[in-house]
Amino acid sequence: MNTGERDTIAEADRATSNTNRRQPFPQGFLDTISQGWAERPESLPDARAQAPFAAARRERLSAQFPGERLVIPAGSLKQRSNDTDYPFRPHSAFAHLTGWEAYAEPDSVLVFEPTAEGHDVTLYFRERADRTTTEFYGDASVGEFWIGPRPSLDVVAADLAVTTAHLTDFSSQPGERVVDSDAELTRAVSELRLVKDDFEVEQMRLAVEVTARGFDDIIREMPRAIAHPRGERIVETVFHQRARSDGNWEGYDTIAASGPRACYLHWTRNDGAVVPGDLILIDAGVELDSLYTADITRTLPVNGKFTDVQRRVYQAVLDAADAAFAAARVGVPFRTVHEAAMEVIADRVAQWGLLPVSAEDALNADSGGQHRRYMVHGTSHHLGIDVHDCAQARREMYYDGIIEAGMVFTIEPGLYFQIDDLTVPQELRGIGVRIEDDILMTDDGPINLSADIARTADDVEAWMARLLPRD
């Protein structure tokens, strides 16, 4: 660690220390550590832009649970190894209902206390410790000497436009509903995100814009990926630099799957070579400080040019994506999007002689499905503050639900011919293609938020020709 040992103990622990990493504080330190600090002037900020949106979300949730106490925890730090933790990310429901996202305090709790008119809402969190306390210098998890300044109750109250209180004032009560412990509340906070408000839509647009720059970075660095024996790691880290510099993190583990590994749907080991002549499937999305994430997949020819066979598979996937996009309309079932894509997939693999039945028979809901061997996943999922947003929603609200204006979801068909799949000709084995875009539904039809990231085979080749370094 950069600034000392995380387990350095406070005075109360000196006598019981039994590890080599714990060092006692000498008396001179203890006598002087709380002295000689300048005053920290504090000005209250204006409420952040998402504060009124978060308030409206809280009102909608309150209306669903009259007379009941609701508890939405932010979550705690999670151990990575021994005494190191993963970077903290608050629970998505907590961030959505407070507007406190990337810099939220671990262990915070949002509480809805029932009243005659609805609920009083209070945000409990661990306020920064006074410098006269041992927490300031002795607790490496929360002490300001270790992790830097923490916010005060007054600053957070003004920033989020919500009542705040110290975490020590919070106590659980019998009969309260707690997210992730209570199924009905967990479902409700998930379904609350099915239709995005204006703030969320704007964040989705921004996340896609930053992600597009990350894909540009990858193409520029493709020669470096080719030169490295684990070139997929180069692709992953190039995108990570963009995600961390212009956002908070990636919204999910980047898939950088080159050659036959593109046929593994969630390949995140990313330890393979990037070989000219192969395709590389890159599924990546930047998560902003607001925690809203993009989710984009592009399949690129490593050397900048598709072979005839690769182009044929690519075009089939693109046609499926375009059919799904055309099927997306307000008022139709969400599953219609998937069904439209699968009709194209079944038709193409049948034309290529890969099915033991006709495309029509393969699409039979009861006895078909033979084409799914080559595309086992779904075509669409909701997207937002989680990459698979609204996942706890009821089926009748999600897959069997009706598309509404304000929904944001992916369209991501693919074709995957495993390297050892004897049902396909040799020329197809090891080819995996997916094209994934982020779609905003409006009353006037769908908008492809990621349409500016090259999609057609010709545009992909032109994109790479423009950005690949010249010899």
For residues 239 and 388, state if they share a domain: yes
Say yes or no to pLDDT of 11 above 50.
no
Please report the sign of the dihedral spanned by the C-alpha atoms of residue 190, residue 194, residue 200, residue 203: positive
* pTM of the shown model: 0.93
| Tens digits of residue pLDDT in 363-390 | 999 999 999 999 999 999 999 999 999 9
Position 299 confidence tier, pLDDT thresholds 50, 70, 90 = very high
pLDDT over 80 (residue 3)? no
The per-residue pLDDT of the chain, averaged, comes to 94
- How many domains does the chain divide into? 2
* Domain identity same for 176 and 203: no
Domain coverage including residue 294 = 198-467
Burial class (CB in 10 A: 0-12, 13-18, 19+), 39: exposed
Domain contains 5: no
pLDDT of 24 reads 85
Is residue 205 domain-shared with residue 179, that is, in the same domain?
no
Instruction: Indicate whether 1 belongs to any domain.
Output: no
Give the Cα separation of 27 and 57 in Å (integer). 52
| Residue 33: closest CA among 147, 145, 128 | 145
In this predicted structure, which of 10-14, 256-260, 278-282, 359-363 has the lowest mean pLDDT?
10-14
5, pLDDT greater than 80: no
The last residue of one of the domains, among 165, 191, 217, is 191
Residues 158 and 212 in one domain: no
DSSP 8-state assignment for residue 259: G
Query: What is the CB neighbour count within 10 angstroms for residue 331?
Result: 9
Q: Is residue 461 in a domain?
A: yes
pLDDT above 60 (res 19): no
* Phi, psi at 450, each rounded to 5°: -110, 20
> pLDDT tens for residues 412-453?
999 999 999 999 999 999 999 999 999 999 999 999 999 999
Check which CATH number belongs to the domain holding 224 and give it: 3.90.230.10
Q: What's the pLDDT at 128?
A: 85
Where among 191, 213, 233 does a domain terminate? 191
Give the confidence band of 131 by pLDDT, cuts at 50, 70, 90: confident
For residues 270-291, average pLDDT:
98
Q: What is the pLDDT of residue 358?
A: 97
Query: What tens digit of pLDDT does each residue of 203-250 get?
Result: 999 999 999 999 999 999 999 999 999 999 999 999 999 999 999 999
Give the amino acid at 253. D
Cα 192 to chain centroid, rounded: 17
Mean pLDDT across 36-42: 89
**CA–CA separation, 179 vs 126, rounded Å?**
20
**214 and 277: one domain?**
yes
Separation of alpha carbons 416 and 345, rounded Å: 11
Q: Are 279 and 434 within 8 A, CB to CB?
A: no
Q: Quick one: 83 and 208 in the same domain? A: no
Same domain, 216 and 121: no
> What is the mean predicted confidence (pLDDT) over 155-178?
97
Q: 148, 175, 191 — which closes off a domain?
A: 191
